[in-house]
A and B are shown apart, each in its own frame.
Chain A
Amino acid sequence: MSDNVDRAQKQVAAPQFGTATIAFAMVGLAVLLTLVQYAGALPEWLHRVPEALVPNFAGWLDAIFSFVKDDLGLLALTRFLTEGLEWLLDASANIFFGKRRWPNIGPIPWTALAAAVAVVGYYLGGWRLALMGGGTFIWTALIGQWKIAMQTLSVLAIAAPLAFVIGLSLGIAAWKYAWVDRAIKPILSVLQTLPFFTYLLPAVIFFKVGPTAGAVATTIYAIPPMILMTTLGLQKVSDEVVEAGKMSGCSKFQMLRYVYLPSARTEILVGVNQVIMLCLAMVVLTAFIGMPGLGAKLLAMMGSFKLGRSFEIGVTIVLLAVTLDRMSKAWVIKQPEHFERDTPFWKRHQMLLLGLVLFVFFTLLSWVMPIAGEIGRGQDFSQGKELDNLIKWFLNIDWVKATTGFLRAFLNVKVLIPFRNFMLSIPTPAFILLVAAFALALAGRKQAIYALVFFGFVALSGWWDRAIITLYSVTAAVALAALIGLPIAILAARSEAWAKRMLLICDTAQTFPSFIYLIPAIMLFGITDIAVIFSILVFAMVPLIRYTIEGLRTVPPEMTEAADMSGATSWQKLWNVQIPLALPTMAVGFNQAIMFAFFMVIIAAFIGTQDLGQELQRTLAGTDLGKNFVLGICVALMALTFDLTIMKWAADKKRAMGLT
């Protein structure tokens, strides 16, 4: 044991001596290069990679894609799959909102669906969930968004189960065969950092525009966490349960079916929760490739600056997200209850029966009373116009206008633009050196080499300036988020009750599809750079606050008590005990904030920015698959660099402090 510990300590300690000097040297060189550039003495080819040297990645990728697509016949295969998927989507579209396709039984009356959801909510989590579930669907109907919401849900109802099945199968394969695991892991980490626009274009090319492509992109996007949770759950099944299964004479299939999968229930259901939430987030975003539904409507309303309606749709999306999240989480912790023997059938299944009875009742009712089946145009309670006026009135109040105006001007002129210009003024090699030095100092040689290679690729891709602008938005937003979020988190962590409240807010906010965060940003700042930064900032602040509170709250009580007994003031305790111990956890929060920011910056391109996101969005209009991929990979590589570095640092720190 003891030499294990020694080795671990050496591993932690070893990089610090040699690498510190190298890191300093790299920073020095970078500063020197920059100064020479400012003096105007740096040759242009050292400032930016010359056009002529940029390899035609996009062209190569296009060639590869067309080879795979046409020569290998992938397109034929996917078009074939499209047929099947389309059939499924049509069926679900018929059931949810009455598209005229087989099985021609829909649409489900809104009252019947709301009642069914309420019963499911009651079964899973009592009255509160019943109210939430039923209430959400009633709101959706009354506000006049039933049809678009059902369009969204009908795709979700196909994409989520599909992602579940594929993720579960791959997860089992990865758990069973080490080589599958080795093959899947790197793909997963790239997939998780790849901006969603990159999923969209291939989906469109291979699976036609509209719901089918949307469903495919949604499914693919939601698969990775399901794989991870499945593998995790299966690995965690206790040895004794496995041995008990073997001693009971299970064959291999029986082991999996009766022992492993049921024992991994919790993790698999957590995976289901994540699949549902990611599907919802993505299905809203597929509006960009022409999928009808809540997302498309929101996009259109925001585009024409109809803030009232945007707000209402935003509320619907949020309600749906929170309902789906709460219900699937309640399912995770729902434990089976036993019935006394000889409990009659109706009592064992009373919830199922109640749901059926209500469903049938409301369906019949809707035949006599059409209003219970569908709320027509003009019958809804939408207050779009009034809200619009209200928001505009609010924004026009002098002091509000002055505040937002001041913020806009101050941040833009004094902070953001100078910062952006500064980042753009650094020569490419100097910038890469700085990033590598950062990775080296924090994590180690391996991460530094990754940083060099990854950013080297970004430089060679020919999109350096746009990449830097992306990076600038991310850094600026995360820095501002930290400036605001950290004090909030530290304050909240001081009391149990506030910490709980804050965590609940964060949990809820994290379930919102990212698109939602654009609404308040546009409301307050209009269509400007500040709105972009603001939406990223809010989005990134959530994990930052969450992990900081978690880190501070999980500091072992012996240590804070020891600090108290050593006579530390609360400031001293915070600085010398709590924050150092919470730092690794906080770093994970930082990392997630950066990942979220990369994600959001691409979506915010919708508002109109000059970064990679906007270029990416442009490629969606055409068939520029190669360029789309190059751009997507640029974003993924930058995000991965930070991910690898920070996570390694956090793991090292945790191990060094013996917190694992």
Chain B
Amino acid sequence: MPTDTPVISCKNVWKIFGKDPRGYLDSMQPGTSFDDMRAAGYIAGVKDVSIDVHRGEMLVIMGLSGSGKSTLVRCFSRLHDITGGTIDVEGQDIMSLPEKELIDLRRSKMGMVFQSFGLLPHRTVLENVAFPLEMRGQDRHTRRERALEVVKLVGLEGREEYFPRELSGGQQQRVGIARSLAIEPDIWFLDEPFSALDPLIRKEMQDEFLRLQQMLNKSIVFITHDFDEALRLADRIAIMKDGAVEQCDTPDRIVLNPATEYVRKFTEDIDKARVIHAGALATTDNKGEGAPVDAKATVHDMARMLVSDARDTIPVQRDGQIIGALARKAALDVLLGDDK
């Protein structure tokens, strides 16, 4: 479960593309809109974003293309230099790191998976996976051993000697995942890892990914443009538009209380009963009576009980402790899709 010390903490981060981004940012009036900046010849890739990634959590950054989600994640690893604000990774301000330490940080702490895989075409599966290890100077024997281990972990045993072009898309992405895991990173970035795959393969890879995450329990920043995927995977979701974070919260709360009209539009077609948990509906002002429900149960899980039960408020427990109670009517509203 997430703890409270952030792995990545960013404050008022700006990333502006254009001729003289820093000068422009310094002279910019507060409240300048995305379109104003564009008229001045600048594109706001990331616009005043403050967000934390907690240890062991999976933060999903969701947005349509051009919303700045990929740019933001590249700022986290300093593939892009930010224009304003600060980003701390494990307590270090990464913008002040010299080249060498930045490389060390990437060699020891970070792994990244790319949308179009980013595999090196002239290297075999094994050589691709061992690449980060080779770069940090590990000897041939240990890196081969570790690479074999990770290749096995992602289920590509027997294909170690293949070249990327001899593999299917799904298999190629498994190589990408294996490579990003080879150095046992603490922070794992995944930039739309499954977008380039067929729907069936995508589902399979998501399951595979959840399995890996349960085994490895890393801090993850996952980028997607697919809201369903975000709901399926996320501990928290940050929804981005025009470079800014519109809302950052747990899936339940985003679905229950969309902060803006833009976010609400995404939630419209979602089967909310399958997303919202009892815990999210519980209020502490009332304890309720009778048999409690588990905080992790979705409204959909409780459907039969909600319809047949007669209580107005039902207690909710987490780890054996009563944490509050939910109003049965509110839960029924969610189930039946009655937006107030």
**A interface residue numbers (CB < 8 A to B):** 238, 240-241, 243-251, 254, 258-259, 262-263, 265, 335-341
Contacts and interface: CB of A to CB of B under 8 A. Distances in A.
Given A254-B135, A336-B163, A240 B111 contact: no
A248 B114 contact: no
Contact of A263 (B103, B117, B122, B183): B122
B161 A340 contact: yes
B135 A250 contact: yes
6 contacts: A243-B112, A244-B118, A248-B135, A251-B135, A263-B121, A339-B161
Given A241-B118, A254-B135, 6 more contacts: A241-B119, A248-B107, A248-B131, A249-B104, A262-B122, A263-B122
A246 B106 contact: yes
Contacts of A245: 120
Contacts of A243: 74, 79, 112, 114, 118
A246 B99 CA distance: 11
Contact of A240 (B104, B115, B124): B115
A257 to B, nearest CB: 10
A249 B111 CA distance: 10
A240 B103 contact: no
Contacts of B86: none
B11 interface: no
A263 B120 contact: yes
B79 A249 contact: no
A244 B135 contact: no
A238 B117 CA distance: 11
A338 B124 contact: yes
Given A254-B135, A338-B124, A339-B161, A240 B107 contact: no
A241 B115 CA distance: 11
A616 to B, nearest CB: 45
Nearest to B107: A249
**Top 10 A-B pairs, shortest CB-CB distance:** A249-B107, A244-B118, A240-B118, A248-B132, A247-B112, A338-B161, A240-B114, A249-B106, A262-B122, A241-B118
B136 interface: yes
A248 to B, nearest CB: 4
Contacts of A263: 120-122
B184 interface: no
**Which of A259, A263, A336: most chain B CB closer than 10 A?**
A336
Contacts of B114: 240, 243-244
B132 A249 contact: yes
Nearest to B108: A249
Contact of B162 (A248, A259, A338): A338
A335 B124 CA distance: 12
Nearest to A266: B121
Contacts of A341: 160-161
Given A243-B114, A244-B112, A259-B120, A335 B165 contact: yes
**Which of B108, B115, B131, B180: most chain A CB closer than 10 A?**
B131
A348 to B, nearest CB: 11
A236 to B, nearest CB: 12
Contacts of B111: 247
Nearest to A341: B161
B50 interface: no
A340 B161 CA distance: 7
Contacts of A265: 121-122
B166 A338 contact: yes
B77 interface: yes
A331 to B, nearest CB: 14
Nearest to A251: B103
B171 interface: no
Contacts of A250: 103, 135
A341 B180 CA distance: 24
B117 A240 contact: yes
Contacts of A247: 77, 79, 106, 110-112, 132, 180, 189
B272 interface: no
Contact of A262 (B77, B79, B107, B120): B120
Nearest to A255: B135
Contacts of B106: 246-249
Contacts of A241: 118-120
A288 to B, nearest CB: 42
A243 B191 CA distance: 11
A215 B48 CA distance: 61
B272 to A, nearest CB: 36
Contacts of A254: 135
Nearest to A249: B107
Given A240-B117, A243-B118, A249 B179 contact: no
A244 B179 contact: yes
A343 B179 CA distance: 25
A121 to B, nearest CB: 23
Nearest to B77: A247
Contacts of B103: 249-251
B116 interface: yes
Interface in B55-106: 74, 77, 79, 103-104, 106
Nearest to B100: A251
Contacts of A336: 122, 163
A238 B120 CA distance: 10
A241 to B, nearest CB: 5
Nearest to B136: A249
A335 B107 CA distance: 30
A254 B106 CA distance: 14
B152 to A, nearest CB: 14
A245 B79 CA distance: 11
A263 B165 CA distance: 13
Nearest to A254: B135
A335 B112 CA distance: 27
Interface in B185-225: 189
Nearest to B134: A258
Contacts of B136: 249
A238 B115 CA distance: 12
A249 B132 CA distance: 6
Contacts of B74: 243
A339 B126 CA distance: 13
B150 to A, nearest CB: 13
A550 to B, nearest CB: 27
Nearest to B159: A338
Contacts of B135: 248-251, 254, 258
Contacts of B115: 240
A243 B73 CA distance: 12
A126 to B, nearest CB: 20
**Which of B111, B132, B189: most chain A CB closer than 10 A?**
B132
B163 A335 contact: yes
**Which of A248, A262, A335, A341: most chain B CB closer than 10 A?**
A248
A338 B163 contact: yes
A251 B100 CA distance: 8
Nearest to B122: A262
